[in-house]
């Protein structure tokens, strides 16, 4: 079974916006850690946010492992969540 990112028009706009906002928060947390602003809470806050974003993607039939891979791809490559979902599907 091949799971692909739904076309842009298939995503409810609010859900796509929430996913991008959560991704933006992850990036801000990484920046805060790099600047030593949030050293103690970083891991637990980041883990909770990643799990929440993965759960959101699971609502659209993305298995947890694939959702985590897409999140990692987006964080590593600086892409949008939609682009990361597409990239992890196309290899």
- List pLDDT tens digits, range 65-79: 999 999 999 999 999
Angle at which helix 42-58 crosses helix 13-34, to 10 degrees, equals 160
Prediction pTM value? 0.76
Domain ranges in the chain? 13-90
What would the two tokens of residue 67 be? 């959702």
pLDDT confidence of residue 60:
82
Long-range pairs of 7-11 with CB within 8 A, sequence gap ≥ 24: 8/82, 11/60, 11/82
C-alpha 70/C-alpha 81 separation (Å) is 7
| Residue 25 or 11, more confident | 25
């Amino acid at each position: 079974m091949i799971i692909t990112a739904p076309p842009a028009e298939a995503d409810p706009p609010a859900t796509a916006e929430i996913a991008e906002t959560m991704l933006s928060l992850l990036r801000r947390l990484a920046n805060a850690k790099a600047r030593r602003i949030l050293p103690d809470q970083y891991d637990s806050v980041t883990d909770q946010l990643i799990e929440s974003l993965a759960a959101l993607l699971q609502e659209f039939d993305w298995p947890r492992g694939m959702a985590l891979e897409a999140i990692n791809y987006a964080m590593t490559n600086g892409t949008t969540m939609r682009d990361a979902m597409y990239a992890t599907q196309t290899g």
